[in-house]
Amino acid sequence: MTPELKEYNEVYKTPLKVYKLFELPDVKVDFEKNRRKPGKSSDQPWSWLMDVSSPPWTDEAVAFTLDLLKGEARARKGKLVHEPLKWAAWRLYLRWTMKLDSRASDADYQIACGAWRKKNTGKVEGKKMYDVTQIVSVRRACEVVTS
């Protein structure tokens, strides 16, 4: 066992010695071995695609996180009736169901919910259970998001 590792183990024995973690020698990593070699662009045919686009889930994750932070801010101001996590989750559900953009504003949600309400008013009778559940879910999501 190296002296650094022994000292590292001693740091975590008691919480009082946590400050010693910052006194340990720096970890040295050799980045030169892992560096990509410069080559022709024909050797890396997909590199331009990775620079231009990002996976679609990243937009959704960022939008959900921003909605959650926006919900927290509204809750602190007293403008939000529901819990911020539920509010952000219902917004995510509406984005998926109504195919809204991840950068959709509050007005876009209100317009989409208003159009959906006009289209689906009184259509619960004569539907299958799945359709009724989806209608009730979208109705609930619109109530939460537009409140």
Flag whether the pTM goes above 0.75: no
- pLDDT at site 9: 62
Show the tokens assigned to 142: 């619109």
**Phi and psi, residue 81, nearest 5°:** -85, -35
Q: Where are the domains of the chain?
A: 3-52, 56-146
Tens digit of each residue's pLDDT (9 = 90 or more) over 80-102: 888 999 999 999 999 999 988 88
Q: Which amino acid is at 146?
A: T
- pLDDT at site 32: 54
DSSP E strands, the chain? none
Which residue ranges in the chain fall short of pLDDT 70? 1-54, 122-130
- pLDDT at site 137: 87
Nearest CA to 135 out of 106, 100, 98, 109 is that of 98
How far is the C-alpha of 102 from the C-alpha of 111, rounded, in Å? 15
- pLDDT at site 16: 45
How far is the C-alpha of 133 from the C-alpha of 79, rounded, in Å? 29
DSSP designation for 122: T
- pLDDT at site 147: 79
